[in-house]
Amino acid sequence: MELSDSRSVDGRYRQNKFGKLWQQTEVTVRLAIAYFNLIWVHTRKENTAAQRVGLSIAP
């Protein structure tokens, strides 16, 4: 690795930084999707906490 070629050093650093950011984003998106999927499933089964105690608006 030559220090005179700053593009390769910076390029690898930026790529690694983006990779870490993408990993965090991917985990966050997976958690959000899992959460909304859980809500969706329980809403369709009509057994959310609000529905069980009668706080939801009846259709």
Pairwise CA distance, residues 39 & 52, whole Å: 14
Pairwise CA distance, residues 45 & 59, whole Å: 14
Q: Is the model's pTM score more than 0.75?
A: no
pLDDT at site 54: 81
pLDDT at site 30: 96
Tens-digit pLDDT string for the chain (59 aa) = 444 444 555 556 667 888 888 899 999 999 999 999 998 888 888 787 878 888 767 65
